[in-house]
Amino acid sequence: MTASVLMRRDGVAVVLDLTGGQLPAIVHWGADLGPLTDGDVASLVLASVRTTDGNPVDVAVRLAITPQQEAGWTGRPGLTGHRAGGTDWSPRFVTASVSVDGVTAPAGTDPGTVEGSTVVVTAEDPNACLTLVIEVELCAGGLLRSRATVTNDAPTSYQLDELVLAYPVPSIATELLDFAGRWALERVPQRSPFSVGSHVREGRKGRTGPDAATVLHAMTPGSSFRDGEAWGVHVAWSGNHTHYAERLWTGEQVIGGGELLLPGEVSLAAAESYTSPWLYGAYGRGLDQCAGRFHTFLRARPHHPSTERPVTLNVWEAVYFDHDLPTLLELADIAAGIGVERYVLDDGWFGSRRDDYSGLGDWTVSADVWPDGLHPLVDHVTGLGMQFGLWFEPEMVNVDSDVARAHPDWVMATGDRLPLESRHQQVINLGIPDCYAYIRDAIFAMLAEYDISYIKWDHNRDLVDAGTQPSGRPGVHEQTLAVYRLMDEIKAAHPGLEIESCSSGGARVDLGILERTDRVWVSDCIDPHDRQHMLQWTGQLLPPELMGSHIASGISHTTGRSHDFGFRAATALFGHLGIEWDLRQASDVEREGLAAWIAFYKQWRDLLGSGTVVRVDTDDSQVAKGVVAADGSAALFSFASVDRPTVVQRGRVRFPGLDPDRRYRVQPVMIGRPPSGLRIPPWMGDDVNGRLTAWPTGDSSITLPGRMLEWVGLMDPPVNPDQALLYVLTAC
C-alpha cells in the first residue's frame, strides 16, 4: 500500500505519510520542496519522527489528520463518540485502501511515494464497527483542504460528539492571529502568543457570527502582510463550529477545526454516515500570500461570479419600511441616470410587515401596500435597463404572522418555552419537510411571477434554544444542511440568479455559504472609517468582488459620524460597488460625483475582480492596499488616513506586488474635490497655494521602475484623518 504521497501545486507542497497502514499524517505543509526522489521523501518522513524522551508513551507519537488517542495523542481527539454504555469511544483505525487521483493502490503493494493532488484514505476499526474516510486535496492556489466521513457499521447506534481535523504547524510558529468583532464591526484582528494549551474559538450561534475566528493563523514572530511565514485554517461551515490551536507539553502544535455538534445532535443508526465540513488550510510567506491562496481557489470555481459586477442600489437606508411607490420609482430614475445596474428592494414588501414586529414568514406581496403587486416597480426598474433584486429572510419568522399562527410547531424551540426573541423574531425550522416545502414554494412563486435577478438573503438572529418541536431535540445541524439544500434548489432552477449572504450584516461569512452565494454583505455599518478596516481584514478570506461595498450617505446610520463624499466613495471602490443612500437627498454635485465614481469603477472592475490583492504594511494611522493585474500591466492602490500619525509626515509609501522589471506611470485619481488637508509633494506638481481646494491642472504623474516603487516608494502626501488618496499605475 502507498507509503507516502507528495502533493504540490502553485508553490505549495504537502507530504502525507501513510506508513504501515496508519491514518494519513502531514509531515510537511509549506513551501514547494522542488524535485524529490522516493528516497528524499522517505528520509523526510524518517526525519520527522519524534523521540520518546520526557515521559510520554514508549513509542513515537504520530499525529494524524484526525488525531487518535490510541496512538498516544493526548490533545484533542479527531473523532469523539460512543455507543450506549460508553463503549467504542477510542477507536483504532487501520487503512484499508488509498486512492490517489482516482487510482486505488492494490492491497499488499508498496509503491513508495506517489504524486497527486487528491487523496482518499479509507480506514476501518472492525472492533468498534466504524469506517473512516479521509479526503485530502491540494486545490488551485495551493490551498489545502480536508474532510472526513465516519460510518456506523454496527446494528446499534453510534453517538457522534465531534469530528475535527488538525494540521501540524512547525515550532517556529509562535504567534496566533484570528478575528473577533461585533455587530457593525466585524472581523477585528487579534494576536496572541501560541503557548502550551488550547486556543479554542467556538461558534454557538447557529451561524458563523460577527466574532468568528474566520481564519485562524499560526505565524512566525512579527509576521505581517508581506513578511514572515503563516499557516491558516478556515472551517467552511455556516452553523455551529470550532477553530482551535493547540500546543502540547511535548512540543507538538496543530491548528484545526470542524463542526460543533450540540448534545445528541448526530446519532448514527446502522449504515448511516456523517461528513465533516471542509477544513481549508493556507500557507504563505506573509498574510497576503495566505489570503491570495483563498482568492485563487475561489476564482477558479466554475460558478464564481463574473468580474463584471453590477453596480447596486439598495433602498433600505433610503426608505426603510416606508414602501411608497412614487418614491421608489424616483429612486430608480435617479439610480439609472448615474449608472446603477441593479436595484434592490429591501424588507417590508410582504404580509403585515410594516415594521419588524410582524409578518416575517408570510412571503406574499402585501395587497395593502402593493395593490398591483410589485409589477409597477419591477417593470419600471427593468425598463430602465437595471436588474431587480428582492430581500428575503427565509430562515426566520415573527410569532405575529399567519404562518406561525397556522404552524406554531414550525418555530424552533426546546422545552416548554419559546426562545428569547431577537429583533422580535424566531427561527423557522427548515429541518421539518413541510416547513421547508412551504418556504421553498413561496420563494419559487415570487421568482416565477417577477423578473428577479438577485436575492438579498438575510439572517438576523442567533439560533438560541434551537430545537425541533415537540421533542426539543437540537436542530442546528439539520437547519444548516436545509439552508444549503434550499439555496442549491433555487440556484439549480434559476441559473444566473445571484444570492447575497447577509446576516445582521457580516455574521455569515464562510466558504460553506459561499458555495451557494455570490457575495457577502460585509457589515451593516457603512461608515467608511470602520469599513476601511473591515474590508482590509475580510480580504484575508475573500477577494474584492465577493464583498458588498456601498457608498454611504453623508451621516452614517450606525455611527452618526459624518464623512466627505470622496472618502466614502474611495473606500467603497475596493469591493463589489453599490450605494446605500437616499439619492433624492443628494445634491446635483453629489450625483455628478456618484456618476464619475461609478464610471471609474466600471473601468477598473475587471482588474478588481481578477487581480492580486496586496496590502501595505504601515502604521495604525493608515490603511493601505492595492490590486495588481495578473499580468502586471496595471494596478490600483489606496492609501487611506484613518488617524493622525505620530509624526508630521509618514514618509514614503511603497507599492508592493509590481513587476520589478517594468516601468510604471503613477497617477493620482482626481475625481471631485481633493482630500481634505492635502499638500502635494513635488513629484505630484507645484503646490503653490498650500492645501489644495482643486486638483492641479498639469501632469501629476511620475514614472519609475516597479522595483523602485516597491522597495523605495514615493513621498506620501499628507491628508487629514478619514481621507484617502488613490493611484492608478500603468506599465509603460
Place of cell 514614472: 703
Rounded CA separation 173/245 (Å): 11
The three three-digit cell numbers of residue 586, written as one number: 443628494
Query: SS3 letters for 32-90?
Result: CCCCCCHHHHHHHHHHCCCCCCCCCCCCCCCCCCCCCHHHCCCCCCCEEEECCCCCCCC
Beta-bridge mates of residue 189: 179
Q: Please pick, among 125, 462, 524, 659, the residue that the annotation labels catalytic.
A: 524
Beta carbons within 8 Å of 39's beta carbon, 6+ residues apart: none
619 in active site: no
Rounded CA separation 287/219 (Å): 9
Place of cell 510520554: 56
The three three-digit cell numbers of residue 268, written as one number: 448514527
CA geometry: angle at 56 spanning 54 and 60, to 5°?
100
451 in active site: no
Beta carbons within 8 Å of 721's beta carbon, 6+ residues apart: 621, 641, 642, 643, 644
On whether the CB atoms of residues 422 and 468 are closer than 8 A, the answer is no
The three three-digit cell numbers of residue 677, written as one number: 488637508
Q: Please pick, among 346, 458, 462, 527, the residue that the annotation labels catalytic.
A: 458
**Helix, strand or coil for residue 462?**
coil
Rounded CA separation 132/124 (Å): 6
What element of type H or E holds 267? strand 266-268
- Phi then psi for residue 445, to 5 deg, are -65, -40
Place of cell 460597488: 577
Sign of the CA dihedral with 433 first, then 435, 441, and 443 last: negative
* Residue among 536, 510, 541 nearest 291 (CA): 541
Residues assigned a catalytic role: 458, 524
